[in-house]
Amino acid sequence: MKNKRKKIVGTKAEDMAASYLRDNGYEIILRNYKCKLGEIDMIARDGECLVFVEVRSRSSQKFGTPEQSMSGAKKKRLQKLAQYYMWRELRKEVFCRFDLVGIEFDGHEKLLKLNHLIGINL
């Protein structure tokens, strides 16, 4: 039951992030890209730049903010996933960056805050 709720909240956060990015001029190319290395939440285009987007959400700050939940291991995995995507799907390297969209919900899954970090360091 807990995993099902987590999946629903995660999907809601990704939907909000996609809507926010579209409203701010991004073209959403792909959502939930899966491969043998893992999953990228979203791949978008911001002008000529390919953007790999990680969406993190929290319903409480008990364990920190969504942005603080991005571990070093997750950053390394995201970097490897991006390299794999460019090699496998594009067959070339392109100018890209990594963004993080942090979403905070209240206890009833109502949006409290959306924070878009552009060009996070991996």
**For residues 17 and 81, what is the distance between their CA atoms, to the nearest angstrom?**
20
State residue 47's pLDDT score. 95
Alpha-carbon torsion (1, 43, 93, 89), positive or negative: positive
CATH class, domain 2-117, is alpha beta
State residue 62's pLDDT score. 77
Domain ranges of the chain: 2-117
State residue 30's pLDDT score. 97
**For residues 85 and 107, what is the distance between their CA atoms, to the nearest angstrom?**
36
State residue 107's pLDDT score. 78
Q: Which residues of the chain have pLDDT under 70?
A: 1-2
Query: How does pLDDT run across 83-93, given as a tens digit for each residue?
Result: 999 999 998 87
State residue 36's pLDDT score. 94
State residue 8's pLDDT score. 83
